[in-house]
Amino acid sequence: MSARVSLGATLFFALLAATLITAVLVVRARTPDLALEVTKLDCKLDPGRDPDAAPSRITFFVRASDPDASVAIVDRHENVVRTLDPSVALDAGEPVTYLWDGRADGGAVVAPGRYRLEVELPSERREMIWPRRIFVDQPGASPDCAGPPRDVLDR
């Protein structure tokens, strides 16, 4: 006894396969390559209690050079609280290190919370925020900087 597949079932599976292939191609086309890699990030600061505490050391490199990049710290709403470097030439693959003391551009200690690194590469039209956070003055917080990072949030 031979099994016959109906035309409707054949069309259904053909359309399902075409939909899945299209979805994979769209996601792949819209997902940018990882252009920012942070190699060192001190994840806890306490500038309010200990003004002499060591600043957070942030070391990173970019995968695309840019002669006019900017480096900043943003809050949880992605507002810039501290501009670490408004205009810097970043070379692809070359590590750079910045220190952040937990203070805003005006010099005041930032509010307790979670902050992240933002790097803009204007010539590449990339504005990237590293997902790992720096925790500032959060008593009882147990920041976890270990584990594999998620992809960079590319806007």
Domains contained in the chain, number:
1
Q: Give residue 62's domain range.
A: 36-154
91-102 pLDDT, tens digit per residue, is 999 999 999 888
103-128 pLDDT, tens digit per residue, is 899 988 888 888 999 999 998 888 88
Cα angle for residues 84, 47, 62 (degrees, 5° grid): 30
Let me know if residue 10 belongs to a domain. no
Let me know if residue 30 belongs to a domain. no
> What average pLDDT does the segment 14-38 reach?
77
50-71 pLDDT, tens digit per residue, is 666 678 888 988 988 999 999 9
Let me know if residue 25 belongs to a domain. no
- Spatial neighbors of 64 by CB under 8 A, at least 6 apart, are 35, 92, 121, 124, 126
Q: Please indicate, yes or no, whether the overall pTM of this predicted structure exceeds 0.85.
A: no
